[in-house]
Structure 1
Amino acid sequence: MCYGIKAAIESKVKVLEVYGDSLLVIHQMKGQWETRDSKLIPYHTHIKELKEHFDKITFHHIPREGNQLVDTLATLPSMFKINTGQDVLVIKIQQKDMQAYCLSIEEEYDGKPWFCDIKSYVKNKEYPLGVSENEKKVLRILPMNFSLNGDMLYKRNHDMVLLRCVDKSQEEEIIQEVHEGSFGTHANGNAMARKILRVGSYWLTMESDCFSHVKKCHKCQIYANKVHVSPTSLNVLT
């Protein structure tokens, strides 16, 4: 906050709105809370001196989850060391609508399964077209836990059991059979994921898909235990 206010002073800004994710500091700057911490008193005094350079300055609080991008940008300078006369690299920032792990494991747009690149590298030692050197390095590490038997790709589990990798078209069928099929007991997401591993199948989003299926199961919602209901009837005590 201090460096941002100094930058505004250097730019000769006279009306400033300051946003911060620290509820304590923001309320202290607004004068609503007292500053009692010996470490914060000099900081608070310095900010009050900087406020004299503005005609109007206001402080606003925003939650930390809404300030993640600003925190990331503030952390970046501490991660780079730039020597004198060295050109600064351009940092590209992109915002995705989905989590990064979802983008890396979902079915490809051309209909290929999630393990297509891994299978191609294990079989032919080939990289996909247009990948970077960093992606090639990751692709060399991933196949260490995978093995190919004929045309079927298997993942080696922590207990050295081989699990068959399945694609999107088989995932829903396996989940329904384990959850409500001939041996299904309408178990929760964790139990379903362990059953699928015992059956010998595997895909990357297995646990999250099992939890999502349980939430959509009508019988699980109707006959599940009501955890928020009191075990005994409530009586009024005078």
Structure 2
Amino acid sequence: MNGAVEAPNKNIKKIIEKMTVNYKDWHEILPYALLAYRTSIRTSTGATPYSLVYDTEAVLPIEVEIPSMRILAETELEEAEWAKRRYEQLNFIDEKRLKALCHRQCYQQRMALLHVTPDSRGKFSYKYDGPFVVRKVFSDGAVILSDMDGTENALPVNVDAIKKYYP
């Protein structure tokens, strides 16, 4: 679980590093860095963390100073029209959540394919199999190996992946 916490912390640290002149005032920048992190779209979900938690996009401080079309449209609505738009917005958010869930599952499948399993033999165990006898050499650097009893391996092996055996 530690890795799940360390990744966001690393990103927040990078944001703070870009926003500070000296590192003594990092605590003053932290709320702005968190806002930036929480309102940025994640590649793993395809949505912002804020929208996934609160069912709506965040109103950014710049939108308060310079009203966006979204803010202007909501301030001049009648109650029935506002309720209708809110209902549509909630449906849109539900669709985004489902898309984020699908996006997350696809992301996890891609990561599972990329995950390299650790060596189960242990840190100090012998890392090679063998010994083998070279049966056939190809021009592109591949060789066909066989066991000492003569059983030939079907798949060729690159010469970079073999090591000379000293009995």
TM-score range, shorter chain: under 0.3
Higher helix share: 2
**TM-score of the superposition, structure 2-length normalised?**
0.27
